[in-house]
Amino acid sequence: MSATVPPDASAASPSSPEPETAADAFLALLAQRGVEYLFANGGTDFAPLAEARAKGLALGARMPEPILVPHENLGVAMMHGYAMLTGRGQAMMVHVGVGTANALNGLINGARQNVPMLLCAGRTPLTETAGLTGGRNNYIHWAQEHFDQGAMLREFVKWDYELRHPDQIQTVLERALAIAHSAPQGPVYLTLPREMLAARLAGPALRAAPLQSPASPAAADPETLDRVARLVARAERPLLVTANGGRTIAEAEAIARLAETFAIGVVHYRPRHLALSTEHPMQLGWDPHAELKTADLVLVVDCDVPWIPALGGPTEEAGVVHIGPDPLWSRYPLRGFRTDVALTGRVASTVDRLTERIAAHAPAEAALRRRRDAIAQRGAARRSAARAGAVPAPAALNPQWVTACLNAALDEEAIVVNEYPLVLEEMTFRAPGRYFGTPPSGGLGWGIGAALGAKLAAPGRTVVCALGDGAYMFGNPTPGHFVSEARGLPVLFVVFNNSRWAAVHRATLADYPRGYAARSPAPPFAVLEPSPRFEHVVQASGGHGERVTTPAELQPALARALRIVREEKRQALVNVCMTPSYVKTS
């Protein structure tokens, strides 16, 4: 996990051949600009790229490593997972509009989580002329054409463009990468007609240095920083709420310094990253609503939804400050959280500068010490009350106990990718960069690919993916297990299987607590029965699969699975079958 890394500006190796076609240049430029992997799900539009790849291998050209992914949603999730750990956006090429449609769910997740990624797609050949290289020569080329292919995803990308001349390739590709890596980061989309990829370059050789580099992030306004610093210094009960704080080590350290220095309690609400250790004295857990009742200042740090208005919010007397690269979340159509001050800037540098300025106005150390002690006691009591631990075993499997058992089985370096089911109160994370939660958009099918991408980025670390049975099915498990075996990416998948869409059932009960659906033994639109034998799916790709139905079976099954992942370097899946019921999850 690192700060944003701009594309590599180094030139191609001296032995690399000069590109002849736009396809040659496309692969060469990706490699030159720091894109290590080109995830791909091919189609008829890939012919020039296939030729360019084969030519490059024969001639010793520097190119990104292609990774064949048999479903587009999985490939986008792998890009997401890789960028989560490295900060470096990767590229994916999909088949025209139909491939773009399959990729859209993952792209929405990337957009809402501000993940840099380059999604490229072929475009139906432009021409019907016989004998023209790349022109239409297949019946599907007529039905697959769009009036505006980018329209289906334009709402969720920062930039999109269609290559219109082969000599545009460097300008267009480097602009795409620069925009994707500029704050707030996000996906970009480039369509590549087959004739353009196949066409020969007429202009000068590729520049060694980038034509465009990512924009420097916005710096916090000094006057606004001073205003917020005075608010923090005057506050007697400040609270910090975050969801994305901790994207980088620098962010986590900055938030921890602020919280420790000025005795500010921290709540991670629906977190995608963790800024503080779960055991940190300033850690106040996962739900802000009780703390908001007494807070006189709320610092919302890179958090799109800091509270649920229906459940409560800050008092009228409390000040509310939002901090982040886009503190108003301008891409959200409706977001009405009170904002007294919106402080724009990269999280790590902005929080560090704020910490420095608060020192000029800070209360006496004795007062801060008393507040620190009170917060630490409150947090410790909250953790103690919430944790059941892995022993003794309950009469039946439940998410809290399964989470506790998984937590006990993991080492301090393991990476956990969570697509909903973990009960976070039971988890212990002492260092940043170990926990990654599902994107706020909730596009299911993220976890499998994100875990594989994380393993690709950190091959020496154990990667565990926790997901519900519905999320597992959404995640394209057959392609996912194929990629795990084909690329040597052993991941442990733990399926919390309650044979239900818990979110659907939970939402129904929230609106109709005494309705007919609440009394139904089979909640409408929420039953996933008969439950598939997920443990068999992983076995089809050389993995280890186990089905667990009683508490006594769980810990030995997790131990076996982790040994296989770590020592045999094979993927493993534990299908934890719980009593079908409504399950409350954190």
As to burial, measured by CB atoms within 10 angstroms (0-12 exposed, 13-18 middle, 19+ buried), residue 411 is exposed
Q: What is the 3-state secondary structure (H, E, C) of 515-578?
A: CHHHHCCCCCCCECCCCCCHHHHHHCCCCEEEEECCHHHHHHHHHHHHHHHHHHCCCEEEEEEC
pLDDT at 1: 55
Rounded-to-integer distance, Cα 456 and Cα 37, Å: 10
3-class DSSP state of 493 = strand
Confidence (pTM): 0.94
pLDDT at 6: 47
3-class DSSP state of 467 = strand
Q: Where are the alpha helices (DSSP H) in 285-443?
A: 289-292, 347-358, 365-386, 399-409
- Among 83, 283, 71, 297, smallest CA distance to 185 is for 83
* DSSP character at residue 352: H
Q: What domains sit in the chain, N to C, each tagged with a CATH number?
A: 22-198 (3.40.50.970), 222-386 (3.40.50.1220), 399-577 (3.40.50.970)
Residue with token string 């393993």? 455
pLDDT at 362: 79
Rounded-to-integer distance, Cα 299 and Cα 322, Å: 6
Rounded-to-integer distance, Cα 119 and Cα 158, Å: 11
Rounded-to-integer distance, Cα 465 and Cα 478, Å: 15
3-class DSSP state of 53 = helix
pLDDT at 13: 47
As to burial, measured by CB atoms within 10 angstroms (0-12 exposed, 13-18 middle, 19+ buried), residue 378 is middle
pLDDT tens digits in sequence order for the chain, 586 residues long: 544 444 444 444 445 789 999 999 999 999 999 999 999 999 999 999 999 999 999 999 999 999 999 999 999 999 999 999 999 999 999 999 999 999 999 999 999 999 999 999 999 998 898 888 889 999 999 999 999 999 999 999 999 999 999 999 999 999 999 999 999 999 999 999 999 999 999 988 888 888 899 999 989 999 999 999 999 999 999 999 999 999 999 999 999 999 999 999 999 999 999 999 999 999 999 999 999 999 999 999 999 999 999 999 999 999 999 999 999 999 999 999 999 999 999 999 999 999 999 999 878 899 999 999 999 999 999 999 999 888 899 999 999 999 999 999 999 999 999 999 999 999 999 999 999 999 999 999 999 999 999 999 999 999 999 999 999 999 999 999 999 999 999 999 999 999 988 888 888 888 999 999 888 888 889 898 999 999 999 999 999 999 999 999 999 999 999 999 999 999 999 999 997 654 443 3
pLDDT at 209: 87
Would you state the structure tokens that stand for residue 326, as one six-digit string? 């886009």
Quote the crossing angle between the two packed helices 22-32 and 169-180, to the nearest 10°: 30
